[in-house]
Structure 1
Amino acid sequence: MNRASLLFSAASAIIAFSTLSPVSAQTITKASQVQSGTYAVEAGHTQIGFSVLHFGFTNYYGAFSNASGTLELNAQSPASSRLSVTIPVASVQTTSSQLTDELKGPQWFDATKFPNATFVSTSIKMLGQNDATIHGNLTLHGVTKPITLNAHFVGAGINPMDKKYTTGFDATSTFNRSDFGIKTYVPYVSDSVTLRISGAFEKQN
């Protein structure tokens, strides 16, 4: 691409972004004002990270991608809302390609035998305006155990890029991986796992 084409492309991008409405002008910041309905996980902007304490020296991080699932959201009666998410375990990534491959194997997640992890909510309780506890069942490595997500509503509105109504939440949880039969290197690599989720959901018509 020559210099003129590069300049034209840059100018076009600037013009396109300049026509978008400011995010603050269209973003809802109160959970009670979000549109109720059925939402689907927007995989491209949903991030699922985890961390463990490595030999007591550092917190080591990894991530999963390509999540799918649905959120049945009732803004007026949050307790009746329902969340179901599926995560392909083979999507795991770390900063070490060797470790990434190892995590997919039988010593850890055994992704061939147990290809998906799932979370299905059983109850939701609001804690103030934008925070909630989401109790549910996590199925991982072929084992189902209850865990709790501490969720925070981030915002909702029309995505200026694809014009779809989108809502987003952050959530954290901590659990012991040995409860799910994943015991490799415990206690040198911590049994306790911290889960961090940034979830984006698009309203379905």
Structure 2
Amino acid sequence: MTIARPFAALSLASAVALATVPALAVQDASPQLPGQMDVTRVAAGTYATDPAHTLVGWRVNHFGFNDYFGSFGDAEGTLTIDPADPSSATVDVTVPITSVSVVSEGLRDHLLRPGANGGDPDFFGPDPAPARFVSDSVAVHEDGTSATVSGQLTMNGITRPVSMDVQFTGAGAHPRSGVETIGFEGTTEIRRSEFGIDTAIPLVSDEVELTISAAFEKQ
């Protein structure tokens, strides 16, 4: 009996260890994100923006001390894309200027307030038209996941050509709605003076960095 006990204890320990391995494996396995950076997941068709998850961030330098930033939301528009011919893609997106968001409520009021004594406003004014970007061309890069998108940006009643660097960030079925969704990020820089907004230049920089994070849902 004294010889059998160690073998029995060893067998019991081995059984516990073997039973524990699958449980630990399940605990360590990370759930796969619904969206993956896999172009084979992109289905041809027309997509519409998800306004709640599409943002346009902006950044300017303030008095040479530091940068200040904010964002616009509620963007609406369409993307038409064919993964067999991505350079034929078109995008048309409208962004309401009144959706501007900043940390300081006072600054938001300044951006949207009327001009003093009936004059021109410092920035957008109280009833600004939405900004709109309409693409002219898409030049897909060799990696197949990034591109230069060129088009026309209309803001403050003025239309100028703009090119942005765009990166595909993910595609897949939305986990709640089941709708096919595509994500992109884009960056560009504009001069606000070219759109008739020249208040406080150069104390507040003429150059405005734009960062776009967009989600499109298949229609």
TM-score, normalised via structure 2 length: 0.79
Which of 174, 185, 190 is the aligned partner of 2:189?
Answer: 174
Tell me the distance in 1 between the aligned counterparts of 2:125 and 2:81: 33
- Write the mapping of 1:128-167 to structure 2, written as runs, cut at 5 A: 128-167=143-182
Larger Rg: 2
Residue in structure 2 matched with residue 104 of structure 1 by the alignment: 112
CA distance in structure 2 between the aligned counterparts of 1:28 and 1:72, rounded to whole angstroms: 20
Q: Is the 8 A contact 2:129 2:157 kept in 1?
A: no
Out of 83, 86, 98, the residue aligned to residue 90 of structure 1 is 98
Q: Say yes or no: does 1:41 pair with 2:23.
A: no
Identical aligned residues as a percent: 42
1:81 aligns to what?
89
Aligned with 1:22 (options 14, 28, 31):
31
Change (3 A) 1:131 1:111: farther
Q: Which consecutive aligned stretches of 4+ in structure 1 deviate over 4 angstroms post-superposition?
A: none
RMSD over equivalenced CA pairs, Å: 1.5
TM-superposed deviation, 1:111 = 4.7
Report the alpha carbon displacement of residue 147 of structure 1 after superposing the two structures with TM.
0.6
Q: Which residue does the alignment assign to 1:121?
A: 135
Q: Look up the SS of the partner of 2:197 in the other structure.
A: coil
Query: For residue 200 of structure 2, what is the aligned residue in structure 1?
Result: 185
Aligned to 2:18: none
TM-fit CA distance, 1:23: 3.4
Normalised by the length of structure 1, the TM-score is 0.85
CA distance in 1, matches of 2:184, 2:105: 30
Question: Which stretches in structure 2 are left out of the alignment for 5+ residues?
Answer: 1-29, 114-120
Post-superposition offset of 1:145: 0.1
Structure 1: gaps of 5 or more residues: 1-20
The DSSP-based 3-state class of the residue aligned with 2:161 is: strand
Cα deviation digits, residues 18-71 of structure 1 (max 9, x gap): xxx9334x5442335411100000011111110001111111001111110000
Partner of 2:22: none
Q: Is the 8 A contact 2:129 2:155 kept in 1?
A: no
Q: Distance in 1 between matches of 2:145 and 2:73?
A: 25
State how far apart, in whole Å, the 1-side matches of 2:172 and 2:192 are. 36
